[in-house]
Amino acid sequence: MATIFTKIIEGDIPGTFVWRDDRCVAFMSINPLRPGHTLVVPIEEIDHWLDCPTDLRDHLMDVSQTIGQAISKVHSPEKVGMMIAGLEVPHMHIHLVPIDGVRDLDFANAAVSVERGALEEEAASLRYVLKAMNAPGVAD
């Protein structure tokens, strides 16, 4: 059975994308820890990051770094945190979150809901910066 992330990737469920290439996508979290919280997700359904092939892992890290640089430019946080938890959805995904302290990575602080318009604004800001960086996978 397809995961919720596969349903988002395939367009069966709405997603607010900032990146799409032949191996992965990135979209805004619907329960963000902070504005700018982005998920980088391989198209292939891989449950545990330990099972991720090396070449795909390296690609996901490259994409995460590029998107992290855009998040940093848009939000000017102290750092952009990265986390792979994988407990809530059995489909590997990387959380990228603008942070000013470790408390900003606490899922107890996640937004319960966010207006679609706010997610679209965040995504548009990130896509704008990614385009300015000449990033190859900016979503349309």
- Which residues are known catalytic residues? 93
**What backbone phi and psi angles, to 5 degrees, belong to 66?**
-65, -45
CA distances from 86 to 22, 114, 140 (A): 22, 21, 27
The residue type found at 108 is A
CA distance 24 to 60: 7
End-to-end C-alpha distance for the chain, whole angstroms: 28
